[in-house]
Amino acid sequence: MTYVVVEPGVRIFAQDLGEGDPVVLVAGFGMTHEAWDRQVRVLVETGHRVVAIDQRGHGLSDKPLHGYDVDRLGQDLVAVLDALEIEQCALVGWSFGGQVAFHVAALQPARVTKLVLVGSNAVRASRSDAFPFGRAPGPTLEAMIELETTDRFAARRTTIRTGFADEPDPVVLGWMVAQSLAMPSWSAVACYRSMLETDLMADLDAVKVPVLQVIGALDPVHSAKGARWLTDRLADARLAEIPGCGHYPMFEAPGELDRHLLEFLG
């Protein structure tokens, strides 16, 4: 277990296990390294060094009032790689973590050997003229911030539950809500803004590494249509759609996610 100081007063937590070719896992909004529990075990058992980080504002990392834009979160990730002396790695980002991972792959092409996007359209999490998928950012952001600032307990539960294709196991849902509530409201509001307002279309041509997208066919957050659009525009990309799965393959279809990861990462 490691803490990395990424700027004065801000530490990022990283779980670092195993030996072999490094795989770095970045979870989505409100979630932590613990969401990858099964994938960490599977990857370590198959000969990988696996680093799972908690982004700032999440889990065991510090929760400052600032620094939640994708550029800064990407700098945090690179600082962790530097501190752990990881010169090259396969990078896996889920949902909002996929946006951050995609940006790092564009800015640090020599650092990332392969990129996996889980439940993420990467370039945007909302609709635009150039990316006609997802919801309009303005009304969506306004509604999410309103619920977060008036009843954050209901906000987190609703956001998580509606990401599943089917009604989730109450135990799983309760655990995920508890994970999410470790993220304070100021971090959540800032991350909502980053998720829905960030446009990474300019990074498309810069991502040259092999990319695997794993998307639930019924994902209501980052759509399978958006994933297909992205696959067609990347230099070297493949798409794995999981039937009957929503936004959480690690909980809804863990075996399928493991299989796709292992086949792609080698």
**Domains in the chain with CATH codes:** 2-265 (3.40.50.1820)
**Residue 259: is its pLDDT beyond 90?**
yes
Rounded mean pLDDT, 213-231: 97
Confidence label for 236 from pLDDT (cuts 50, 70 and 90): very high
pLDDT digits (tens, 9 = 90+) for 124-134: 999 999 999 99
pLDDT (0 to 100) of residue 185: 97
**Residue 227: is its pLDDT beyond 90?**
yes
pLDDT digits (tens, 9 = 90+) for 96-106: 999 999 999 99
**Residue 266: is its pLDDT beyond 90?**
no
List, in order, residues 6 or more apart from 47 with CB less than 8 Å away.
18, 19, 20, 21
Confidence label for 228 from pLDDT (cuts 50, 70 and 90): very high
Q: Write out the chain in H/E/C secondary structure.
A: CEEEEEECCEEEEEEEECCCEEEEEECCCCCCHHHHHHHHHHHHHCCEEEEEEECCCCCCCCCCCCCCCHHHHHHHHHHHHHHCCCCCEEEEEECHHHHHHHHHHHHCCCCEEEEEEECCCCCCCCCCCCCCCCCCHHHHHHHHHHHHHHCHHHHHHHHHHCCCCCCCCHHHHHHHHHHHHCCCHHHHHHHHHHHHHCCCHHHHHHCCCCEEEEEECCCCCCCHHHHHHHHHHCCCEEEEEECCCCCCHHHHCHHHHHHHHHHHHC
pLDDT (0 to 100) of residue 125: 96
Mean pLDDT across the chain = 97
Confidence label for 1 from pLDDT (cuts 50, 70 and 90): confident
pLDDT digits (tens, 9 = 90+) for 31-63: 999 999 999 999 999 999 999 999 999 999 999
When computed from its CA atoms, the radius of gyration of the chain, rounded to whole angstroms, is 17
Residue 257 in contact with residue 249, Cβ under 8 Å?
Answer: yes
**Residue 117: is its pLDDT beyond 90?**
yes
pLDDT digits (tens, 9 = 90+) for 3-19: 999 999 999 999 999 99
Residue 63 in contact with residue 188, Cβ under 8 Å?
Answer: no
